[in-house]
Amino acid sequence: MIYHVLALGDVTSEEGVRHLAKHLRGVKKLKNISFTVINGENIAGVGLTPEQAEDLFCAGADVITLGNHTWGRQQIASMLEDNSYLLRPANFTGRAPGRGWGVYDCGTVRIGVMNLIGRCDLDFNAENPFTTADRLLKGDKPTFTLVDFHAEATSEKLAMAYYLDGRVSALWGTHTHVPTADERIFPKGTGYITDLGMTGPVESVLGIRPEQSIEKFLGGMPGRYRPAEGACKAQGAVFGLDDQTGLCVAVVRIDIR
């Protein structure tokens, strides 16, 4: 049987959450989606609050992943400890609250989700994501294993995909907020895309008001970034996964408007 997993890119504002609340459940029904993973680390601009996380779950997320803005709203720390469906990068230091790996029972299948952060141009004193993945994959093997690799460099994401090819069902990149057109299935069966894109206002610079971003590049003082307004999009990919092999048979980009 083929299971369909939906992965959506970084939600950049509460406007993005409201867009998902309006459209996501209908899309999931239309696309026969069994499981949904959404990166939510930018809902508050930098980070997210527990209330925003709950809103995203209510909109249709099964698991929320984070990234370099995990601690942008430090009140999320207690929720990271208490809610196993909210993940921060697994290769943060062992002193960080929360977890970066979860396995979830979904009827006849078990789905593992791993959240990692890259180290190329992201200086968070993180442990090696490659060896962290090795360590986490040594345990009991779920039916499907999904990886959100929150990283800046396309080379690091591609290298990770080759490294984990055949050992995980699907791996996607987040962080850059711009969708890539390289969705594919790797030689040993891992589904892949370098970046899912973002969920938030269409007329924006990565979710931020264009005039603020322009002012910064002109050398001015843009002030505290404010999310853009207006019509939204939700970008990501649907992965078709075979429950007999645990591997990917199809990857299709999605853009919900």
pLDDT on residue 140 = 86
Residues annotated as catalytic (active site), given as ranges: 69
pLDDT on residue 223 = 76
Tell how strand 198-201 and strand 248-256 pair up: unpaired
Instruction: Specify the 3-state DSSP secondary structure of 152.
Output: coil
> Rounded to two decimals, what is the model's pTM?
0.97
Instruction: Specify the 3-state DSSP secondary structure of 61.
Output: coil
On whether the CB atoms of residues 223 and 211 are closer than 8 A, the answer is no
Give me the residue spans of the domains in the chain.
2-256
Tokens, residue 13: 């504002």
Name 13's Cβ contacts closer than 8 Å, sequence gap at least 6: 42, 43, 45, 200, 201, 207, 227, 228
pLDDT on residue 221 = 79
pLDDT tens over the chain, length 257 residues: 999 999 999 999 999 999 999 999 999 999 999 999 999 999 999 999 999 999 999 999 999 999 999 999 999 999 999 999 999 999 998 889 999 999 999 999 999 999 999 999 876 789 999 999 999 999 889 999 999 999 999 999 999 999 999 999 999 999 999 999 999 999 999 999 999 999 999 999 999 999 999 998 999 876 777 899 999 999 999 999 999 999 999 999 999 99
- CATH no. of 2-256: 3.60.21.10
Cα 36–chain centre separation: 10
